[in-house]
Amino acid sequence: MMRIDARGLLVGGEYLPSPNCDDRPGGAIELLVIHNISLPPGEFGGDAVLRLFTNTLDVAEHPYYASISELKVSAHFFVRRDGRVIQFVPCLKRAWHAGESCWQGKSRCNDFSVGIELEGSDAVPFSDAQYIALIQLSAALREAYPKCGITGHSDIAPKRKTDPGPRFDWARYLTGLCVQ
């Protein structure tokens, strides 16, 4: 079973600190935001997402990387295709994952949310291992932060984002979370 400690870290999890975070303004963590990401787009298994979130992406490695070279982004967690979870930002810090966003009338979702990136794309189904890890991680987060709602990036930034995308099985995820 996964567990979040008092510092906002996944107990026993892999932690790769990102510089792309800052202090949260006052207030509770109220939301989990589900995303998808792959770099280069549609390719899985490499370390480009890790390097993007740690500002070490080599723009010469792929033509697409030049178009994102100025980004300073992060998420709290990244769930690989094999279900491995990597944490970049402690939950008590603000990760830079949601951008311009609004949830239940509140803007600036980064201020009160935890971002979870799934290695994937809008076009490819997510793996069984990812659903298992995401459900366990979400349960641990909701245990630590019981007021958390759950939404997709597309729901808080509908004019800008489509993730986690049409291949994300919300029913499977939410049903799995309910039986935890």
Residue type, 146: P
**Of the candidates 110, 39, 88, 99, the residue with the CA atom closest to the CA atom of residue 68:** 39
d(CA 152, CA 163): 7
Structure tokens, 46: 């490499």
Annotated catalytic residue, options 100, 117, 119, 143: 117
Known catalytic residue at 117 = yes
| Core vs surface per residue 21-60: b (16+ CB within 10 A) or e | beebeeeebbbbbbbbbbbeeeeeeeebbbbbbbeebeee
The neighbouring-strand residues paired with 113 are: 31
* Residues 17, 88 contacting (CB under 8 angstroms): yes
Catalytic residues: 117
